[in-house]
Chain A
């Protein structure tokens, strides 16, 4: 196992840009988002009500850093919400309880098919990279 060589974050260290932020997602039995609700920095819901997912525009999976102690396994969804907002969210498959085995992110084994509770912690919103910013 290769240890993480990064130094601890300090006031003068580099900070993460476009880091993922937790989001509340209401998923259907297949694990596809049906509604989402943003969470503020204080942990409370940022949006007054969940917003329905109008369409899943795209879906892809990333597996990386499998040699590290905490490998990365994410199932991304590019969503179009009912109010026209574009949102990119992912489910952290390496987080544990919701991590499926199959590469399409289907629930593993005999997982409850009708689990549609909003799940927190395993879902994250991924902001678009700031490609327009340059040094």
Chain B
């Protein structure tokens, strides 16, 4: 009690002094919608609805293209909710603006935010709508003044993205604090305060699936405090590892480490044609050109890439992104052109609209591997590769026109009886 009183007194004197926290969470609600607002400021405050579709990858653009992926608070007030068919949006909210997925611009915005937040803290972990900053050891940098820290965060994150900031001893508590934070300012939950802070909050804040939340609510467990009052063994038995984690969180144990994501080494090339690329051949030629430019980058000297990402800005204002991981590393331009050409030739392998700008990024760079086969293992490996090819052919064409020679009657005097061609089983 003595410490508590002293602590409170200290806060009264220096309200912005450095609190006993380890993590800052910057929550960016509905980031794809806010990125759209950055491009079209006149949409700010209007009911916005993001349609599903496009590609995933942390950019919030997966899901059914005919339904709502998520919406702005203005649209939610009129009854629009995630999963609603788009055709019903107009009836509920006539002024709603349907925003199409724009994964490339959203990813670029996230990358830019990460770069800027790394100037606030050297260790930043992106996770869905949250960005976690490791605050350990930073008190001196910000002169023990949490106001300076918040100012640095708000300088790094544009206000139009509506960031909300929460500080706590652990990641999950900081994330919940950010969601409870005011638009300007921050919520600080010190180490000893997390149990009292979490107890009255809805169980929906817990990192559980909607089914698990529903199960809790059916049992009348509506707040985090309700869950905390249950025995640990009962929660773990019913909800497994996520339940155990939620129970520990409810009891103030929130010690998951921050896993920073550092900038990946990659070779990039960008091409913006004078006229939009509308034909398959034109896109293929542009990709060939990008491959040549990417392999000319010094980053790729003596290296090979295992992953390639192709991003396109489209004439309809949206964007398109595909990332492929290759079994064999792309060690030279010819191999890369062939591999990318094969991917683009697949169904839905091309952008759905004419391309204004195309960017290629080669990732997972590693040392160039030799291809010398082993003396005794080469044949087994070849057979494995053939079986793999057979599997692909069977999946694509329904039958496998590949055979292997098998001994049938090696003792026969009739030559054609000694061997037969057996189909390779996929």
- CB distance A17 to B420 under 8 Å? yes
In the complex, chain B residues whose CB is within 8 Å of the CB of A14? 406, 408, 420-423
- CB distance B420 to A16 under 8 Å? yes
A22 to chain B, nearest CB (A): 14
| A117 part of interface (Cβ distance < 8 Å) | no
| B407 part of interface (Cβ distance < 8 Å) | yes
| A84 part of interface (Cβ distance < 8 Å) | no
Find residues 109-164 in chain B having any chain A CB closer than 8 Å to their own CB.
Answer: none
- Could you tell me the distance between the alpha carbons of A133 and B416 in the complex, rounded to whole angstroms? 14
| A29 part of interface (Cβ distance < 8 Å) | no
| A108 part of interface (Cβ distance < 8 Å) | no
Q: A62-B413, A64-B413, A72-B414 are in contact. Are A15 and B421 (CB under 8 A)?
A: yes
B65 to chain A, nearest CB (A): 39
In the complex, chain B residues whose CB is within 8 Å of the CB of A135? 404-407, 422
- Could you tell me the distance between the alpha carbons of A14 and B415 in the complex, rounded to whole angstroms? 16
| B418 part of interface (Cβ distance < 8 Å) | yes
- CB distance A133 to B423 under 8 Å? no
- Could you tell me the distance between the alpha carbons of A47 and B404 in the complex, rounded to whole angstroms? 29
Find residues 103-135 in chain A having any chain B CB closer than 8 Å to their own CB.
Answer: 126-130, 133-135
| A44 part of interface (Cβ distance < 8 Å) | no
Q: Mark B326-365, 1 if CB is under 8 A from A, else 0.
A: 0000000000000000000000000000000000000000
- CB distance A19 to B407 under 8 Å? no
| B215 part of interface (Cβ distance < 8 Å) | no
B195 to chain A, nearest CB (A): 66
Nearest-CB residue, chain B, relative to A11: B399
Number of interface residues of A (CB under 8 A): 20
Q: A14-B406, A15-B403 are in contact. Are A133 and B414 (CB under 8 A)?
A: no
| B419 part of interface (Cβ distance < 8 Å) | yes
- Could you tell me the distance between the alpha carbons of A19 and B417 in the complex, rounded to whole angstroms? 8
- CB distance B404 to A16 under 8 Å? no
Contact among A12, A17, A134 with B416 in the assembled complex (CB-CB below 8 Å): A17
Contact among B403, B407, B415, B423 with A18 in the assembled complex (CB-CB below 8 Å): B415
In the complex, chain A residues whose CB is within 8 Å of the CB of B403? 15
- CB distance B416 to A18 under 8 Å? yes
B220 to chain A, nearest CB (A): 59
- CB distance A15 to B420 under 8 Å? yes
Contact among A17, A20, A64, A126 with B419 in the assembled complex (CB-CB below 8 Å): A17
- Could you tell me the distance between the alpha carbons of A129 and B421 in the complex, rounded to whole angstroms? 12
- CB distance B406 to A62 under 8 Å? no
A76 to chain B, nearest CB (A): 9
- Could you tell me the distance between the alpha carbons of A59 and B111 in the complex, rounded to whole angstroms? 80
- Could you tell me the distance between the alpha carbons of A64 and B418 in the complex, rounded to whole angstroms? 14
Nearest-CB residue, chain B, relative to A15: B421
In the complex, chain A residues whose CB is within 8 Å of the CB of B422? 14, 135
- Could you tell me the distance between the alpha carbons of A15 and B425 in the complex, rounded to whole angstroms? 14
In the complex, chain B residues whose CB is within 8 Å of the CB of A126? 415-416
- Could you tell me the distance between the alpha carbons of A18 and B418 in the complex, rounded to whole angstroms? 9
In the complex, chain A residues whose CB is within 8 Å of the CB of B418? 18, 129
Nearest-CB residue, chain B, relative to A63: B413
Nearest-CB residue, chain A, relative to B403: A15
- CB distance B416 to A16 under 8 Å? yes
A21 to chain B, nearest CB (A): 10
Find residues 1-33 in chain A having any chain B CB closer than 8 Å to their own CB.
Answer: 11-12, 14-20
In the complex, chain A residues whose CB is within 8 Å of the CB of B423? 11-12, 14
- Could you tell me the distance between the alpha carbons of A20 and B408 in the complex, rounded to whole angstroms? 17
Contact among A16, A20, A127, A134 with B421 in the assembled complex (CB-CB below 8 Å): A16
A79 to chain B, nearest CB (A): 16
Nearest-CB residue, chain A, relative to B408: A14
Q: A14-B421, A16-B420, A17-B421 are in contact. Are A130 and B405 (CB under 8 A)?
A: yes
- Could you tell me the distance between the alpha carbons of A130 and B415 in the complex, rounded to whole angstroms? 10
Contact among B406, B408, B416 with A19 in the assembled complex (CB-CB below 8 Å): B416
Contact among B399, B404, B415 with A129 in the assembled complex (CB-CB below 8 Å): B415
In the complex, chain B residues whose CB is within 8 Å of the CB of A127? 415
In the complex, chain B residues whose CB is within 8 Å of the CB of A15? 403, 420-421
Q: Mark B61-79, 1 if CB is under 8 A from A, else 0.
A: 0000000000000000000
In the complex, chain B residues whose CB is within 8 Å of the CB of A17? 405, 416, 419-421
Nearest-CB residue, chain B, relative to A132: B405
Nearest-CB residue, chain A, relative to B406: A135
In the complex, chain B residues whose CB is within 8 Å of the CB of A130? 405, 419
In the complex, chain A residues whose CB is within 8 Å of the CB of B413? 62, 64
Nearest-CB residue, chain A, relative to B416: A19
In the complex, chain B residues whose CB is within 8 Å of the CB of A62? 413-414
Closest 8 CB pairs of A and B: A133-B405, A14-B420, A15-B421, A17-B419, A19-B416, A135-B406, A17-B421, A129-B415
A-B contact pairs, 12 of them (CB 8 A): A14-B422, A16-B416, A17-B421, A64-B414, A126-B416, A127-B415, A128-B415, A129-B415, A130-B419, A133-B419, A135-B404, A135-B405
